[in-house]
Structure 1
C-alpha cells in the first residue's frame, strides 16, 4: 500500500446473522457467519477488487463498509474517523463521501421517480445547492455518464439495463464521493454492455480521483478494473495482492483454482499448438456458513490439507521475503513464479 494513511481501513470486520428457532421464533439457535474477521485497506483514488464465489460474503462486506449493515464486531475507519458504530448524526457528514452502486440497476431505482429526481434527490436530502441549481447539476451528471440531458424527465422503465446502471452511477456521483462501493455493477447487464460500464467507471476513477471497492465474480473484469485484488472464501480473505502479482503468481490454492477456470484464448491453442491449461477441479461443495470448518475454511476442498489445517487458522501474512504486499492465508502456499497446474484435487482433504 502506497499510502500510510489509507482512506478506508477495516480491521477484524465481522457480521453474523442470527438464526431463530423454536416456538415462538425468539430463541437464537445459530448464526450465519457471513463475514468473519476481514482486514482491508483502501488508499485515496485506489481501486480494490473483491472476488469470490457466490455466498462468500462479498456483498455483505460492501454493505458493512457503507454502514447499510451494523457490524457484529471489528472496526471500520474512514479518513481517520471510527464509524463502526457511529449513529445517524455522526454518519451524516460521511454518508455523502461513501456511495454505493447496486447490482440490479432497475430494483435500485424508484420506478415512480423521474431520472432528474433520482439524480438530484441526494443533493436535496443533504441540503446541497450547487452553482446553477440542482437541475443543472443533474444535467451535467447525466452527460458525464454518457446519457442525454434530455432524459431528465423520463422514468427508469424507459431505459435499457446499461442506461439504468448509468443513472445509478450518476446518482452515486451527485454528492462528489471519495469512495464508491460497486456491488457487481455489471453482472446483470448484457456482455456487450458490460465493457462500456466498466470503462465508464475506470474513466471516472482516473478523472475524479474516486476510490473504488469493486465487488465481482468475473475475474477478467476485476483484472481490467482493479489495481489490487482481494480473494474471499466463506467469509474470509484468503489472499490479497497487486493485480499483476496475484494473477501471475497466485499463492493460495483457492486462488489458483479460480484462475485455472478462466478461459484462455491464445494463438498456440487456436492453431493446435501448445495444449490449453488444465483446470483445477475442486471436489465437494462450499461448506455452510452456519457451521464452517475449523482451522482453514478451504481445507475440506484443498488437495494440500493436513491435520494442521484443521487445528490452526492460517494468518493473512506474507509467505516469504518476496512480493511486497502479497498476503496469503495458507499454511502451505504455492511456490512463486509457476503457472497454475495441470493438476486436479485428489479429494476433499481432512473431513469436516
Structure 2
C-alpha cells in the first residue's frame, strides 16, 4: 500500500536583491519536479551530494514546507496546500529525525520533557501514563529510563540521537523522515543507530524516508533508493538493482566512491567528477548533470532526459539519461 506519494513536486525559494528597494532577482530551484512514493513499512533511501535538495524534499514530504507546485498525497489525502487545522490530525503520523543531535534538542529541557512534549501537545495517552510511556520509549531506543531528569548536554552524540528517535516515536508515527540522522556521528555509533532504526521498523512497521549521502549506510537500511542531483531524481530502483546495475553516470560516480561496492566481484574504478555542482539559481539547460558528465553530447544541452525504464532494467528501475551506461555483463559493458 502506498503511504506517501510525491508528484511533480517543486520548491523554489526567492532570491532578493537591491539596496534601497528589495525585489526578487531570481529563484533557488531546490526541488524541481520530483516523483517519489513510499510504501507502508518500507524504507526509501534518498541520496546525492550536499546541496542537491534532499533535505528540502524531506521537509516537503513532512509538510514542514509548502510546495511551490506539485502534490503531496498522504494515505490517499492530498495535503499539498492543507492549512494548520487540516494538517493537525496528520502531524502525529509523520515525524522527523534531524541531522544534528546537538541542535535539535532544547538544552533547557530534560530528556523526559523532550520526549513527553509531543504527547502533551497532541493529548496522546492519559496524563497519568505519559511518564511511564517516556521511560518505555527510552528503554526501547537503548537508553537508561532512569535518566529522564538529565539534560541533553549530559549525553554523547549517539545518545542524543537516540533521544531524538524516542521523541519521533512518541506519537506512534506511520512514517519517519530521517534527515541524515547518522552523518554527525562516529562510524561505530552510526552502525548502532542504523541497526536500531532497522529493528524499530521490523517491530513497529514504520515507513522511512531515509536521507543520506553515505551510500553504504543507505544500502544497509533501504529497500528502494532514489538518486538526486540538483533538484531532480536521476535514477530510482530497488536496492539490489541500483547498486549492482546502475545506469546513470552520476550514480556510477557516487558508487565508485564506496570501496566495498563491487560489480561482478571486482571493485569499481574511482570516477572523479570534474568541476563543482552548478548553482541551483541558474541550473544548466537540458540534463543538469551534463556540465560534469564524461558522456555529454549536444543533445544533453537541449533536451531534458525523461525518467524512464531502459532496456535491460527491471520494471521499477527508472533512469533519466540520454546516453546511459550499459548494464554489467552486456556486450557494450
TM class, shorter-length = over 0.9
Residues 134-180 of structure 1: per-residue CA shift (max 9 Å, x gap): 10000100000000110111100000000000000000000000000
Give the 3 Å change call, closer, same or farther, for CA 244–168 of structure 1 in structure 2. Answer: same
The residue aligned with 1:294 is 285
Structure 1 spans left out of the alignment, 5+ residues: 267-273, 343-352
Residues 212-257 of structure 1: per-residue CA shift (max 9 Å, x gap): 0000000100000000000000010000000010000001010011
Checking the alignment, whether the CA contact within 8 Å between 1:249 and 1:338 is kept in structure 2 is no
Residue 259 of structure 2 is aligned to residue 263 of structure 1: yes
Deviation for aligned residue 1:308: 1.1
Residues 91-110 of structure 1: per-residue CA shift (max 9 Å, x gap): 00100000000000111001
Structure 2 spans left out of the alignment, 5+ residues: none
Residues 63-87 of structure 1: per-residue CA shift (max 9 Å, x gap): 1111111111110000000111100
Moved over 3 A (4+): 274-277
The residue aligned with 1:58 is 54
Secondary structure, counterpart of 1:214 in structure 2: strand
Q: Normalising by the residue count of structure 1, what TM-score does the alignment of the two structures yield?
A: 0.90
The residue aligned with 1:27 is 23
Residues 264-305 of structure 1: per-residue CA shift (max 9 Å, x gap): 399xxxxxxx98542112111111101000010001111111
Residues 40-84 of structure 1: per-residue CA shift (max 9 Å, x gap): 000000100000000000011111111111111110000000111
Residue 312 of structure 2 is aligned to residue 316 of structure 1: no
Please, which of 296, 300, 303 is the counterpart of residue 305 of structure 1? 296
Checking the alignment, whether the CA contact within 8 Å between 2:243 and 2:261 is kept in structure 1 is no
Checking the alignment, whether the CA contact within 8 Å between 2:261 and 2:268 is kept in structure 1 is no
The residue aligned with 1:335 is 326
The residue aligned with 1:88 is 84
Deviation for aligned residue 1:129: 2.0
RMSD: 1.8
Q: Normalising by the residue count of structure 2, what TM-score does the alignment of the two structures yield?
A: 0.96
Secondary structure, counterpart of 1:164 in structure 2: helix
